[in-house]
Amino acid sequence: MNVTRTQFRVLLGLSWVLLVLAVSAYFIAKKSLPAELLRWLNDYNSSPQTRISEYRLLIDLLYLAINIVVAAGLFYFKRWAKALYIPIIVFGLALLLNERISIEPEWSRAVSVLANISNGVILALIYWCNIGPHLLFASKSHV
């Protein structure tokens, strides 16, 4: 399958748009939860035992920053970004293993699923498809 560089870049941009929409949808949809559930969620989030620690917040912010750098590298077809894409996905999954309880309506979750699907497509493209006239991220001897 051949994909143009422009199509790849559009998909990469779309994945970030979907991520921003997913986060926005979560905060918008959270307001539509039943009052009892919203009250429980607020109590859960403010409890000293379940509150997000400063180190976890720092790790999440560092993960976001690295993710942005890797996305920029992919946008400009840098080989180091290809090499870091799988580790950053695995690290993101590892962060989910330590995740607290999350409650959200299905329509906001659907946007998150679409964002994850687009990331899977990007992963497949960078390892198994030709981008434009040359292999994506090929070494200079292959271009």
Q: Please indicate, yes or no, if residue 143 is contained in any of the structural domains.
A: no
Decide which of 106 and 11 is more confident: 11
In eight-state DSSP terms, residue 134 is E
Q: What is the mean pLDDT of the chain?
A: 87
Q: Please indicate, yes or no, if residue 14 is contained in any of the structural domains.
A: yes
What is d(CA 9, CA 12) in angstroms, rounded to the nearest whole number? 5
Strands 134-135 and 2-3: unpaired
| Predicted TM-score (pTM) of this structure | 0.81
Q: How many CB atoms lie within 10 A of CB 40?
A: 14
Q: Which domain holds residue 109?
A: 2-135
Q: Please indicate, yes or no, if residue 39 is contained in any of the structural domains.
A: yes
Q: Please indicate, yes or no, if residue 35 is contained in any of the structural domains.
A: yes
What is d(CA 50, CA 57) in angstroms, rounded to the nearest whole number? 13
Decide which of 143 and 7 is more confident: 7
Q: Please provide the DSSP assignment of 8-42 as one string.
A: HHHHHHHHHHHHHHHHHHHHHHHTTS-HHHHHHHH
Q: Please indicate, yes or no, if residue 15 is contained in any of the structural domains.
A: yes
Residue 130 CB contacts under 8 Å (≥ 6 apart), including other chains: 1, 2, 3, 136
- Split into its structural domains, the chain has a count of 1
What integer is the mean pLDDT of 38-67?
Answer: 89
Q: Please indicate, yes or no, if residue 71 is contained in any of the structural domains.
A: yes
Q: Please provide the DSSP assignment of 55-101 as one string.
A: HHHHHHHHHHHHHHHHHHHHHTT-HHHHHHHHHHHHHHHHHHHT---
pLDDT at 88: 95
Decide which of 52 and 77 is more confident: 77
Q: What are phi and psi of 131, to 5 degrees?
A: -115, 115
CB 46 within 8 Å of CB 38: no
